[in-house]
């Protein structure tokens, strides 16, 4: 079967790529070995963040943030996006001076989206913050989305435009024949002039099939979600000097992320580290962060 473009992987990247290509008149096929959104694109912290980005990422992140504001209308679907301010809390003066110097550096590049807040404003925005927290930095344009909804929204919009998705079909080999790529899966053979590697944590394996060497390491951040609880936090919250973030959804559940990142393979989980990190998460939240 012949297509203009073959996309390996049905995560957010594969689905969004299919959407944009199809709308540009390019006939695209997405091949997904499991089901769309099964992996990192279906289960993650859902952060839509401009705050704290590496300087090199800021222009792209600003462009993405503009798109997020109207993405539901564009895709005619609910991505779960909610615009919320994002605050990174400073627990001491050293954190505050880190924030100040970063804000100055951003200003030199013409950016003003990160704003310093003092202790009083922090308390007004987050009434339950621990008394020792001295201030923070806020970005008003940030927010969160529901990852599986966002990925599905792209997939459905791509399909409406004419893209084709095959789930449960793993790419097994690739060959370049002249200007074309030939893909063989466990079901069929496909040809296309354009081949796009959107295979996430497996991208190194796909690259090898293409004759390319893209070394990749994997790490797993920890996430936990609570039962529904009374509303206590409107903003998404992070911290300057510790790996911790949380957001409270409209249904009252709180998604907490943080803990040490665990190095792992794309297929295995290190149970010992996982258990230890679960215990670390609530300890990091209290007592120095929230009262």
Ligand X SMILES: Cc1cc2nc3c(=O)[nH]c(=O)nc-3n(C[C@H](O)[C@H](O)[C@H](O)COP(=O)(O)OP(=O)(O)OC[C@H]3O[C@@H](n4cnc5c(N)ncnc54)[C@H](O)[C@@H]3O)c2cc1C
Contact residues for ligand X (CB under 6 A)?
8-14, 31-34, 38-41, 44-47, 145, 147, 150-151, 170-171, 198-202, 206, 221
CB of 185 to ligand X, least distance (A): 7
- CB nearest ligand X: which residue? 11
In terms of CB distance, is 134 or 207 closer to ligand X? 207
Q: Quote the least distance from Cβ 205 to ligand X, whole Å.
A: 7
Distance (Å, rounded) from C-alpha 145 to C-alpha 113? 20
- Smallest gap from residue 134 Cβ to ligand X (A): 26
Nearer to ligand X by C-beta: 65 or 171? 171
State which residue, 46 or 235, has the beta carbon closest to ligand X. Answer: 46
Nearer to ligand X, 96 or 174 (CB): 174
282 phi, psi to nearest 5 deg: -65, -30
CB of 9 to ligand X, least distance (A): 3
Compare residues 114 and 169 and give the one whose CB is closer to ligand X: 169
Least Å from the CB of residue 22 to ligand X: 17
- How do 236-239 and 86-90 pair as beta strands? parallel
């Amino acid at each position: 079967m012949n297509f203009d473009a073959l996309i390996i992987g049905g995560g957010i990247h594969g689905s969004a790529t299919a959407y944009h290509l199809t709308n540009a008149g390019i006939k695209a096929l997405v091949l997904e070995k499991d089901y769309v959104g099964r992996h990192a694109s279906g289960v993650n912290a859902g952060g839509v963040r401009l705050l704290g980005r590496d300087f090199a990422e800021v222009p792209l992140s600003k462009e993405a943030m503009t798109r997020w504001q109207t993405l539901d209308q564009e895709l005619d679907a609910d991505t779960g996006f909610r615009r919320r301010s994002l605050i990174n809390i400073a627990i001491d003066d050293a954190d505050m001076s880190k924030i100040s110097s970063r804000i100055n550096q951003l200003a030199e590049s013409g950016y003003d989206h990160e704003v310093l807040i003092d202790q009083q404003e922090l308390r007004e925005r987050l009434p339950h913050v621990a008394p020792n927290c001295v201030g923070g930095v806020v970005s008003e344009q940030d927010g969160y989305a529901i990852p599986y909804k966002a990925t599905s929204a792209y997939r459905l919009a791509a399909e409406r435009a004419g893209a084709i998705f095959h789930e449960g079909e793993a790419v097994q080999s690739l060959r370049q024949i002249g200007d074309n790529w030939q893909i063989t899966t466990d079901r069929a053979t496909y040809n296309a002039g354009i081949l796009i590697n959107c295979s996430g944590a497996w991208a190194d394996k796909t690259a090898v099939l293409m004759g390319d060497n893209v070394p990749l390491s994997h790490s797993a951040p920890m996430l936990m979600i609570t039962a529904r609880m009374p509303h206590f936090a409107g903003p998404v919250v992070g911290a300057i000097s510790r790996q911790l973030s949380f957001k409270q959804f409209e249904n009252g559940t709180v998604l907490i992320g943080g803990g040490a990142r665990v190095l792992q393979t794309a297929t295995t989980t290190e149970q010992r580290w996982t258990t230890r990190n679960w215990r670390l998460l609530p300890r990091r939240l209290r007592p120095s962060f929230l009262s």
